[in-house]
Amino acid sequence: MKILLATEDSYPFYTDDVASWCDTLTKELSEVEFTVLSVTTHPYLKPRFDLPPNVPAVINVPISGMLDPAEYGDHESFPAYLRSRWTMSAEDVEQDFVPHYEQFLRAIAEPESPPWAIAVTLLQMHLHLRYYDYDATLAHPSVWKKFFAVMQEEWHRAHPMEKTPPPGDFHNGWQCLYRLLLPLTIDVPQFDLTHASSASYCGLPCVIAKLRHHTPYLLTEHGVYLREQHVALGQAPLSPFLRWFLSRLATSIASVNYAFADQVSPVCAHHTRWEQWLGVEPERIRVIYNGADDPLDLLRSLGAAKPAEPTVAAGGRITATSGHVDLVEAAALVRRSIPNVRFHLPAEGDEAAVQQCRDLVHGLGLEQTVVFEESDAAHLFVVPTISDTFPCPLIDAMLRELPIVATNVGGIPEAAGESAMLVPPADPAAMAESIVMLLRSPDSSGRLGQHARERALELFATDRFAAAYRASYEKLTVRVFADERPAIVETTNVSEAPPMMPTAA
């Protein structure tokens, strides 16, 4: 079986929850051949994982970091690239691309647009970009003029009482879309199945494969992509137009992924309410918990002893929604009660978020209390996230028999049950109070850690995780045999394109 595994800012170039999940999946299902398609922020990344033999290829799709996307484009050769650029005329762009581009813009601006209409415009743009250069197309003056005209009209339709945004806002939106549509350049060959790790841009090649080849599509949701985008956009210093445009774009991309996935597998039941609200029928949803290797025997064999001073650890990556800033503030409060406490935070994450944490550590005078270095030896583990999630570090901490303080968000209560102390998100004082309580109560901490380990062994065993995905792959691939899949769909009129939705088993 050959599967396209699509990720975004994750495996194999980053070490985050999703990357750990991908690593476990590919190694546990060694009989499956995975080709990884990784949408990344720039092209200068090196793999952070040793790829197993059943991952023979990684397709990197950088959306920034180069002057011309063709530098890392999907071209057979340099002469092929030159042909794609030099043979394209203005008429090719204006007649073959711009009409579909306009339909796409109007569809994402309209909240009631059906996902299949958006998907067909994506397909038509993809078919154009199979033959013609991306930069020469998307940077063509006719494309910019169409974006400017359509978005002005749609902005006033959605906000009739608002002023027209300045031209710079429209230009920034056009540039964002220029980058974000780069996954459409990938000419995905036929696979037995495609599997995306997020309902985001990395799923677009999976949707295209569904439309062109009827390739079954499995979508795993670790966090709720759309909710995370709304949270991030709400925190970002953006103009009203850009916030509206990027919010509508994220909603459209998520809805297309949901509509064309044959199976949606969130990592916790909590996410299903979002998926059903966004149109996924219950019969297409199958919750599959993350799996994790048991680290306790390894730690014991290495003789990992608890440090002398009270030590608090936190894992994952530092992001705008990871809550590590709240943990730094909590550390300052904990130090008042336990002066020799030490906090270990991850060193990796989004550059701006990491710098914000480092600046706060310096501003609060916590250089001797907080270190940016993960630790395998701690007395307590904290999950400070403010967003819907089902973090792998939480499961790992449960297996390590650590007492846990975690925020009461998303799937965390579902994962931890009664084996963790839950606190409100973005509440450093409550977090600090729970940390102090557990550090001062070794007996209570020990019982909490034992309960956490027992629960993790029951729910999150790696063999259970692997069996669930193996069964899903087999179920989805037997529905449509490769020799019965239809030829490439090349509809030119959206109104004539029938919906190609998955059928529930």
Find the CATH number of the domain harbouring 423. Answer: 3.40.50.2000
Nearest to 435 by CA among 330, 332, 322, 328: 330
Q: Look at residue 381 and tell me if it is in a domain.
A: yes
| Structural domain contains residue 455 | yes
| CA-closest candidate to residue 200, choices 56, 63, 66, 83 | 63
Q: DSSP class of residue 57?
A: E
Q: For residue 85, what pLDDT is reported?
A: 66
Question: For residue 465, is it within any domain?
Answer: no
Single out the residue of 483, 447, 456 nearest to residue 393, CA to CA: 456
User: Domain tally for the chain?
Assistant: 2
CATH number at residue 152: 3.40.50
Shared domain for 166 and 71, answered yes or no, is yes
Q: Is the pLDDT of residue 197 over 90?
A: yes
Domain membership of residue 501 (yes or no) is no
* Sequence-ordered list of residues with C-beta below 8 angstroms from that of 424, at least 6 positions apart, any chain: 407, 408, 430
- At 320 the pLDDT is 87
Residues 215 and 77 both lie in one domain: yes
For residue 180, give the 3-state DSSP assignment.
helix
- Taking alpha carbons only, the member of 111, 146, 155 closest to residue 125 is 146
In the predicted model, what is the mean pLDDT of the chain? 89
| pLDDT higher than 60, residue 381 | yes
Q: What confidence tens digit (pLDDT) does each residue in 11-68 have?
A: 999 988 899 899 999 999 999 999 999 999 888 899 999 999 999 999 999 988 776 6
Q: Is the pLDDT of residue 187 over 90?
A: no
Q: What is the pLDDT of residue 294?
A: 76
Q: What is the pLDDT of residue 504?
A: 41
Indicate if the pLDDT at residue 352 is higher than 80. yes
Position 317 scores a pLDDT of 87
Q: What percentage of residues in the chain have a pLDDT greater than 70?
A: 88
Does 503 score more than 70 pLDDT?
no
Say yes or no to pLDDT of 76 above 70.
Answer: no
Residue 476 has pLDDT above 60, yes or no: yes
Asked if residue 304 and residue 281 are part of one domain, the reply reads no
In a domain, residue 505? The reply is no
Find the mean pLDDT for residues 113-118.
94
pTM of the complete model: 0.83
Tell me whether residue 23 is in a domain: yes
C-alpha 266/C-alpha 310 separation (Å) is 36
Question: What is residue 483's predicted lDDT score, i.e. its pLDDT?
Answer: 44
Confidence band, pLDDT 50/70/90 cuts, at residue 316: confident
Helix (H, G, I), strand (E, B) or coil at 297: helix
Q: Are residues 349 and 482 in the same domain?
A: no
As a whole number, mean pLDDT of residues 141-159 equals 97
User: Is a pLDDT exceeding 60 seen at residue 177?
Assistant: yes
Query: Is the pLDDT reported for residue 302 higher than 60?
Result: no
307 in the same domain as 245: no
- pLDDT of the residue at 130: 84
For residue 357, name the pLDDT band (cuts at 50, 70, 90): very high
- Examine the domain organization and report whether 284 and 178 are in the same domain: yes
Return the pLDDT at 160.
95
What value does the mean pLDDT take over residues 146-175? 96
Whether 61 and 27 have beta carbons less than 8 Å apart is answered as no
194 & 142 share domain? yes
* Shared-domain flag, residues 168 and 83: yes
At 43, which amino acid appears? P
pLDDT digits (tens, 9 = 90+) for 418-475: 999 999 999 999 999 999 999 999 999 999 999 999 999 889 989 999 999 999 999 9
**Residue 464 in domain:** no
Residues 343 and 230 in one domain: no
Residue 251, domain extent: 2-289+478-492
CA distance 25 to 257: 21
Residues 302 and 202 in one domain: no
Mean pLDDT score, 174-180: 95
Determine contact, residues 20/317, Cβ cutoff 8 Å.
no
**pLDDT at position 496:** 43
- Domain match, 284 and 372 both: no
Per-residue model confidence (pLDDT) at position 131:
84
- Assess whether pLDDT exceeds 90 at residue 195: yes
What is the SS3 string spanning 344-406? EECCCECHHHHHHHHHHHHHCCCCCCEEECCCCCCCEEEECCCCCCCCHHHHHHHHCCCCEEE
Q: What is the pLDDT of residue 342?
A: 97
Q: With bands split at pLDDT 50, 70 and 90, how would you rate the model's confidence at 486?
A: very low
Query: What pLDDT, on the 0 to 100 scale, is given for residue 272?
Result: 92
Does residue 388 share a domain with residue 336? yes
Q: Is 271 domain-assigned?
A: yes
Residue 374 tokens read as 């993960």
